[in-house]
Structures are given as C-alpha cells and as structure tokens.
Amino acid sequence: MSMVAWGGDSASDVLVPPEDGAEMIAAEVGVLFGGKLESSTKARLFRREAPPRIGVSPPHGVYLVSLEDAKGKNWLERSEFYSWRYVFFDVDNPLGVAEISQDKSGHYRLFRVGSRAEAFATLEAVRQLDVIVGDEVYELRFVRVISLAISAVWAHGQQGFSCDKFVIVPSDSAGSLSNPAVGYWEGNDFVELISSMAIDKVAFGRDVLFGSKASFRAQEL
C-alpha cells in the first residue's frame, strides 16, 4: 500500500501532525503502556536519541462519529477529525498506542493511551490492508464510534468513501474478540453495518457488539 503521510479531503483541507508528537507523548506519560520502567527512563526511550530498536509509526488521524450521525447513510463523510494516533513498538513487538489532541488554546495534549493488545491489533490491520490494496495510494486513518464500541483502521483513497477499506479491530469491551463484525469490510458494507447498528441502538437498545448486520454476516461466513 502506498500511503500518503496525512491529509484532508481537498487541497485546502490538509491536516499536519506536530513534529514532536512522539516526544510530547513520552514526556507526559508516567508509566507508559503498562510498562514497569520509571517515567524518566521510559521517556528517554522515546526521544529522538532513542535506540533504533524502539520505533513509532507515522501518526494517523483519528475521526470520531456520533451516534446521531451514525444513523445516516453519509455518516462517514460527517466524521470529525479529533486526534493524532501513534503506535509504538520494539522491533516487531507492539508496546502500545497513544493519542494527542489540541486543547482550546491550540496546544497539543495527551488524549489517551491504548494497550499493547490495541497496538498489536492495529499493526495486524495495517498489514491486512496493505495486502488488500496493493500499490494503490491510500491515507491511513482510524475511525471510532464510541457509542457502538466500534473502532476500525481506515484506508482512505481518492475514489470516494464508498471505495475505502476498513478493518474493525477488537475493543476493550467484553466479548469483542468474538464479535462477528471484527475483520475486513469494504466501504459500502462498513457504512451500512454502522448505520444499522446505530439505528438498532437508538430504537431497541440492542447489544451493539452483536447487531443484526454483524450477526447476518457471521452466518454468511
């Protein structure tokens, strides 16, 4: 997959992450990703002079979707950029995930820290998308529908949202590993899945991890 570093949906809508994002994360986190090292030692590992075995992915934008927007068919276009997400790893071993977002004054702050399992799921999803899209050019994104406990690694292309590719990754919610929705989705199918789950959530309070579309897909598989 030929990845563009970052961007918006037009030349005038370019999103640029802070140059010192990874260092900012290391400075703010005490015990990073559940590790046992003290904050000062752990921070040193992630600064620019860090040993080459400690790596960090290029930042990818996180887009949030409200439950109300998710009910519509154009919810993906209405998703809003919120934060920059980084995956840290030691050689091929994932260490964790961290996100930074801007506060009201425009300064970046640590927004959240994710587990080693979240980092592993992200790297596996990127590898899967890399095989699927081949040499096509895509922007790597991450979409999160908090009210549905659904998150997905998102390959956003230039041919429109319907042609985008997604891999739903397990969340920290109970039962997510056995959730039949976890895995690869084409653009239109993913949009329909989220829309149907949002409608069910609002109308019936149904357990969204096993919504009707996901269960139907599991039967097909």
Maximum average pLDDT range among 146-150, 202-206, 211-215: 146-150
Unique residue bearing structure tokens 């004054």 = 105
Provide the pLDDT for residue 99: 92
Instruction: Residue 143: give the domain boundaries.
Output: 2-220
Alpha helices in 110-186 (DSSP H): 116-133
| % helix, strand, coil for the chain, step of 5 | 35, 30, 35
Query: Model confidence over 22-70: pLDDT tens digits?
Result: 878 877 664 444 443 334 444 444 444 444 456 788 899 999 999 999 9
Unique residue bearing structure tokens 């005038």 = 12
Q: What is the pTM of this model?
A: 0.78
Domain tally, the chain: 1
Class of residue 91 by CB neighbours under 10 A (exposed 0-12, middle 13-18, buried 19+): exposed
Query: Model confidence over 186-199: pLDDT tens digits?
Result: 999 999 999 999 99
Class of residue 116 by CB neighbours under 10 A (exposed 0-12, middle 13-18, buried 19+): middle
Provide the pLDDT for residue 128: 92
Query: Model confidence over 144-179: pLDDT tens digits?
Result: 998 998 999 999 988 778 889 999 998 654 444 456
Asked if residues 73 and 189 have their Cβ atoms less than 8 Å apart, the reply is no
Q: Angle CA(76)–CA(140)–CA(54) in degrees, nearest 5?
A: 140
Contacts of 125 (CB under 8 A, 6+ apart): 152, 153, 167, 169
Query: Model confidence over 94-116: pLDDT tens digits?
Result: 888 899 998 888 888 888 888 88
